[in-house]
Amino acid sequence: MTGVTKLKTLLVMSLSALALGACGGGGADNVASPGEGAFPPGSGGGTGGGTTNPPPGQAAADCPTGFANVGTVANGTLRACQLPSKIVGNLVVPARAGTVYAISGRVDVGDDRGADPNNPVAGAQQGILTIEPGVTLFGSGGLDYINVQRGNQIFAEGTASNPIIFTSRSNIDGNSGADLIGQWGGIVIAGRAPIASCPAGTTPPNINCVATFEGGVSLYGGASPTDNSGRLRYVQVRYPGFEIQPNRELNGITLLGVGSGTTIDHVQVHNSSDDGIEFFGGTVNLKHVVITGADDDSLDTDEGWRGGVQYLIVRQRANGGDRGFEQSSAGVQASLNSQPKFANYTVIGSGRTGAGDLQVLNTGTGGRFINGVHASANSAVACLDVDDTSTQAAAPRWDSVVLACATAFRNDSGVDGAAAAALFNAGANNSSTHVSTLNGFVNGANETARTATDPKAIYAFFDTTNYIGAVRDANDTWWQGWTCGLAAGSSC
């Protein structure tokens, strides 16, 4: 079954059995960011409006209350119900047979409530977006995206068998393919956690350390490390990414000063035209992450991000992809340089001419990298590139990481290959001459034989594991069921 066929089957068959949540209902009403009261019940939610479930393959007759009926898509088999351009109060996106939801333009979740949760911006309205399991939402162009502003929240919680899918109109209408990218904008979430961009004379973390997202809209940052922007669970983000202006891009998921009170677990970004996930500061942590087919960096960390990711599969596509990781601290103060932490990850590089190195660190970033596998068959690609002496001085560390590339270390003018090797070898249980026996992204005999490091001893958010890589063996199935394009014969 193709990915598009599976998508349509999920939409038109399984949803009719789901109960429809009432506006203002569903357990998110009383979840709030630190220092704020609960979000008030909203007037824009609503569900079925008395619609009878249509038979499989037939569009619903109407839309839930609070959504505009904008016709049908997928050859008339699905009703398109458009989200409002601004969400105030609690908007529930209900799972309904024969229904998909359109993202038209920038959809703001609330107003920017400011950096201080104890002193929100006067008159700024709160918003919360709740999306039920099995819902599919789509954008039709690059400027269609979800924009969750500071002090507001998104609750997109699918299940392993019924994920939430954000995708493109083109995909809804039956198009997919290995090189379909950049069909809509993606998801942007802004929070109040510390970032490293500060006014002159200000040392982070500080409530005055605030920046504007490169997409040109959202303010982000503050001094609330445990800020809560909601939950993303069992979510696919397909074919996103868009360059608004030169060097100003929307990614698959963009996390702006997002705090550790936010939950992101079991998420996939597929075929983003820019980065898969980019972190601009903040403290948010993630588990069970899949990045497939990103055209630029799969994961990009900057602005003093100090969270962690555990259980990560990165697989670049044959005809696209730059770096697997880009870790930066460009223009920030040493008191809050980027300190990314990754554990149990597998990064598989692209074979295309011009692909970037699998991991690039620059401009003073630090970090911890634990139980990782870097693998590329591209003879022009290095597994690790440390760009400059400020990064060398920040002393990033690798433990139980293996490099399986024709060139282990990039020989840069700032930090040559020998110096990068010395930095890498300062950690424990590493190998720069690993021979990959990966079965796709699943560990083989050589990966299984490697000595692991306990990630939890390094970072409390991490689980204790006794293996390297993202997927221990064929019995390790955390990625199955809710992703697309990973299993044999599966497409998105």
Q: What is the pLDDT of residues 194-225, one digit of tens each?
A: 999 898 888 888 999 999 986 567 899 999 99
Helix %, strand %, coil % of the chain (to 5): 10, 30, 60
Taking alpha carbons only, the member of 251, 288, 302, 323 closest to residue 465 is 288
Please indicate whether residue 39 or residue 382 has the higher confidence score (pLDDT): 382
Q: Which letter does DSSP use for residue 24 in this model? A: T
Is pLDDT of 30 > 50? Answer: no
Say how many C-beta atoms besides its own lie within 10 A of residue 17's C-beta. Answer: 10
With cut-offs at 50, 70 and 90, classify the pLDDT of residue 249.
confident
Say how many C-beta atoms besides its own lie within 10 A of residue 199's C-beta. Answer: 9
d(CA 101, CA 81): 5
Please indicate whether residue 270 or residue 491 has the higher confidence score (pLDDT): 270
Please report, in angstroms and rounded to a whole number, the separation of the first and last CA atoms in the chain: 11
Q: Which letter does DSSP use for residue 9 in this model? A: H
**What was the pLDDT predicted at 52?**
63
53 and 97 in contact (C-beta within 8 Å)?
yes
Is pLDDT of 11 > 70? Answer: no
81-95, 173-187, 435-449: which has the minimum mean pLDDT? 173-187
With cut-offs at 50, 70 and 90, classify the pLDDT of residue 331.
low
Peptide bond into 94 cis (omega under 30): no
Please name the residue that has the structure tokens 């599919």.
136
Rounded (10°) CA dihedral 9, 10, 16, 18:
170
**What was the pLDDT predicted at 266?**
98
Is pLDDT of 51 > 70? Answer: no
As a whole-number percent, the residues of the chain with pLDDT over 90 amount to: 77
The two tokens of residue 355 are 């692909």
Please name the residue that has the structure tokens 């890589």.
469
Is pLDDT of 21 > 60? Answer: no
Is pLDDT of 319 > 50? Answer: yes
d(CA 85, CA 70): 14
The average confidence (pLDDT) of the chain is 89
**What is the pTM for the complete model shown?**
0.90
Is pLDDT of 460 > 70? Answer: yes
d(CA 65, CA 476): 42
Could you read off the pLDDT of 105-134 as tens digits, one per residue?
999 999 999 999 999 999 999 999 999 999
- What's the average model confidence in pLDDT over 58-74? 97
